[in-house]
A and B are shown apart, each in its own frame.
Chain A
Amino acid sequence: MASLVATIHVRPGLSARLWTFARRNPTIVLGGALLTAMAAIALVAPMIAGDPRLMTPTNRLRTPSAEHWFGTDNLGRDVFSRSVYGARISLVVGLSVAIVSIIAGLAVGLAAGYYRRLDGFVMRIMDGMMAIPAILLAIALVSLNRASIWIVIVAIAIPEVPRVVRLVRSVVLTTREQPFIEAAIGGGSRNLKIILRHILPSTIAPLIVQATYITASAILIEAALSFLGAGVPPEIPTWGNMIASSRLFLASAPWTIFFPGAALALVILAVNLMGDGLRDRLDPRLARRM
């Protein structure tokens, strides 16, 4: 009998718990699954796709077929291979921009929120930076440097920093009024310890949500930069420069534009869905409103 009692009290199995999570958070799961699939495809690109730079002039602008799933472009390059490799740039830029801008914004935001003397000065600078249209700022930064993926990442991250600073600062301002901070100050904790041990943790949940939105917007801006000819070096296939180099063939070979365009929209949609789902779970104050 003892064994029977034990089985009744056991927690539901892993698959059952996953199923409950999926039913309660359809957007996180749908977005996450799409994104995981994209990341997996990008990771194993050399195994599933041919050389994205191989030009076969005899094979120009072929319609999608068993041999070329997404057709070929005006230089006879395989659109499927190029789309698969393009996922690498989008995902790497999206994630890197989120990481860089969150770290920079976190440092500045914690300092501005905690040390009140810094606050006015820092926030005026952030106001000014936020007034500059992100795409134009990125264009200016990229066009002044030799094209490389690092410059693109930094150029997209800089305009995102003030938004992170504002978010972190507002969290710090509400957290620092809590009694436990007073207790920590009274207990003689040093400032750095108060910031890292007591204030930093409350910024994590909103920052995770913010990071997903930054990723989505970074992927969008990277594609726009590549499209405008101010992105990564043109020999690297990206969804943006694929669309740009095929735009004269829209009427005769629409697949050269629609496949990278659909991939781009799908990835951004997946990240945004995850962001909405995470916000609903992690930030109930906002969740009710949207």
Chain B
Amino acid sequence: MTAYIVRRLLSMAPVMAVVAVFVFLLLHLAPGDPAAIIAGDNATPANIEQIRKALGLDEPLWKQFLLWIGSLARGDLGRSMFWNDSVTTLIGQRAEPTIALACATLLVAVVIAITLGVVAAARAGTFGDRLVMAFAVVGFSVPVFVVGYLLIFVFAIQLRWLPVQGYTPLAEGILPWLRNLVLPSIALGLAYVALIARITRATMLDVLAEDYMRTARAKGVAPRPMLLKHALKNAAVPIVTVIGIGVALLIGGVVITETVFNIPGIGRLVVDAIARRDYPIIQGVIIMFSGIYVLVNLVVDLSYTLLDPRIRY
């Protein structure tokens, strides 16, 4: 098992190398002079020259690439052009709200989605099942920011139950922290819940049709343990796979959710960087989020052995 983990960790390297090359090429193969584009329309030639120097764009391409890969390997994502600070420092400063939002959403969404999926599969064909399926299609179709503004309008502006926007650090108390996270988590999690609920229902239906489920029913296993122990355990692998793949939804959604709810996290860092053409930040955050995505899916792969003892490495 240890050997397998090491091998899989090593297999991350080529994937991340492709990501790094791709992100590097984005800047350098863009038509026109990247320094001029980053400088914007009102730049003087001196500004452009300064940006060229700051980003090392005056060096030959191969040298720029080696420097970029070298600093990446050391965990250095470059320096922001607007904030006189390194990108890793900026990401570190903005990490708490993003981690809080992502983890809260992940946790709540997975629990709700699996419950919905199991209940729908257990009552396949009934009104409740159709309701869950309809929710899954609609929930997957409404954009994060539309749900977000709808939630703000109803629960914050009309009913005044929850704060409109903003973020309270965890250090200032759990309750205010939670109150600020409720609406953003629902907005961000909706599509994710829809996706997982749908896969859970489909996989559960497959498992429920197996012979051993009929045997379990025949020997009188009560419905609830039968669903949870016999069926859900056997349906776990595809469900966990989708939870991992769906993290891409969360990562993209975080950027938008933080803008809608004015949360000062990593997503906002990127959105502010677009307007300022602060390219090192955009590059750095892409690399980091891609790394997280790859890592999450590696953990998912490794979890298969725990979920299904038949899978051995």
Chain A residues near B (Cβ < 8 Å): 124-125, 127-129, 131-137, 139-141, 143-146, 216, 220, 223-224, 227-230, 243, 247, 250-251, 254, 257-258, 261-262, 264-265, 268-269, 272-273, 276, 289-290
A243 CA to B286 CA in the complex, in Å?
25
Q: Are the C-beta atoms of B34 and A144 separated by less than 8 Å?
A: yes
The stretch of B19-27, B79-87, B226-234 that contacts the partner chain: B19-27
> B177 at the A/B interface (Cβ < 8 Å)?
no
CB-CB under 8 A for A144 and B30, given A128-B18, A136-B255: yes
Q: Are the C-beta atoms of B141 and A216 separated by less than 8 Å?
A: yes
Q: Are the C-beta atoms of B149 and A250 separated by less than 8 Å?
A: yes
- B14: contacting residue among A124, A139, A220, A289, CB under 8 A: A124
Q: Are the C-beta atoms of A144 and B27 separated by less than 8 Å?
A: yes
Q: Are the C-beta atoms of B248 and A133 separated by less than 8 Å?
A: yes
A229 CA to B143 CA in the complex, in Å?
16
CB-CB under 8 A for A129 and B141, given A136-B286, A143-B274: no
The binding surface of chain B is classed by DSSP as: helix
In the complex, besides A261-B145, A268-B142, 8 extra interface pairs with C-beta distance below 8 angstroms are A128-B17, A135-B256, A140-B23, A140-B279, A140-B283, A144-B30, A144-B38, A269-B138
Per-residue contact bits, chain B 6-34, to A (CB 8 Å; 1 contact, 0 not): 00000000111111011100110011101
A218 to nearest B CB, angstroms?
12
CB-CB under 8 A for A136 and B252, given A127-B15, A128-B15: yes
Chain B residues near A (Cβ < 8 Å): 14-19, 21-23, 26-27, 30-32, 34, 37-38, 137-138, 140-146, 149-150, 152-153, 157, 198, 202-203, 205-206, 248, 251-252, 255-256, 259-260, 270-271, 274-275, 277, 279, 282-283, 285-286, 289-290, 293-294
Q: Are the C-beta atoms of A250 and B198 separated by less than 8 Å?
A: no
B201 to nearest A CB, angstroms?
8
A280 to nearest B CB, angstroms?
13
Q: Which residues of chain B have C-beta atoms less than 8 A from A262's C-beta?
A: 146
Q: Are the C-beta atoms of A265 and B146 separated by less than 8 Å?
A: yes
Q: Are the C-beta atoms of A261 and B149 separated by less than 8 Å?
A: yes
Q: Which residues of chain A have C-beta atoms less than 8 A from B26's C-beta?
A: 137, 140-141, 144
- B256: contacting residue among A124, A227, A258, CB under 8 A: A227
Q: Are the C-beta atoms of A290 and B279 separated by less than 8 Å?
A: no
Q: Are the C-beta atoms of A265 and B141 separated by less than 8 Å?
A: yes
Nearest residue (CB) in B for A254 is B153
CB-CB under 8 A for A227 and B286, given A133-B251, A134-B252, A272-B140: no
Q: Which residues of chain A have C-beta atoms less than 8 A from B205's C-beta?
A: 289
Q: Which residues of chain A have C-beta atoms less than 8 A from B283's C-beta?
A: 140
Q: Which residues of chain B have C-beta atoms less than 8 A from A273's C-beta?
A: 137
CB-CB under 8 A for A124 and B18, given A132-B290, A135-B255, A272-B140: yes
CB-CB under 8 A for A229 and B142, given A127-B15, A132-B22, A224-B256: no
Nearest residue (CB) in B for A141 is B26
Nearest residue (CB) in B for A216 is B141
> Can you identify 30 A-B contacts, CB atoms within 8 angstroms?
A124-B15, A124-B18, A128-B21, A128-B22, A129-B22, A132-B19, A133-B251, A133-B289, A135-B256, A136-B286, A140-B26, A140-B283, A143-B282, A144-B34, A144-B279, A146-B37, A228-B255, A243-B145, A243-B149, A250-B149, A258-B150, A258-B153, A261-B143, A261-B149, A264-B143, A265-B138, A269-B137, A272-B141, A290-B198, A290-B202
A290 CA to B145 CA in the complex, in Å?
27
Nearest residue (CB) in A for B138 is A269
Q: Are the C-beta atoms of A268 and B274 separated by less than 8 Å?
A: no
CB-CB under 8 A for A136 and B145, given A129-B22, A131-B15, A261-B150: no
A187 CA to B14 CA in the complex, in Å?
40
Q: Which residues of chain B have C-beta atoms less than 8 A from A223's C-beta?
A: 143, 145
Q: Which residues of chain A have C-beta atoms less than 8 A from B270's C-beta?
A: 136, 139
Q: Which residues of chain B have C-beta atoms less than 8 A from A268's C-beta?
A: 141-143
A125 CA to B198 CA in the complex, in Å?
30
Q: Which residues of chain A have C-beta atoms less than 8 A from B140's C-beta?
A: 272
Nearest residue (CB) in A for B31 is A145
Q: Which residues of chain B have C-beta atoms less than 8 A from A230's C-beta?
A: 274
B289 to nearest A CB, angstroms?
5
A205 to nearest B CB, angstroms?
20
Nearest residue (CB) in B for A251 is B157
A251 CA to B248 CA in the complex, in Å?
32
Q: Are the C-beta atoms of B202 and A133 separated by less than 8 Å?
A: no
Q: Are the C-beta atoms of B31 and A139 separated by less than 8 Å?
A: no
A140 CA to B144 CA in the complex, in Å?
20
Q: Which residues of chain A have C-beta atoms less than 8 A from B203's C-beta?
A: 289
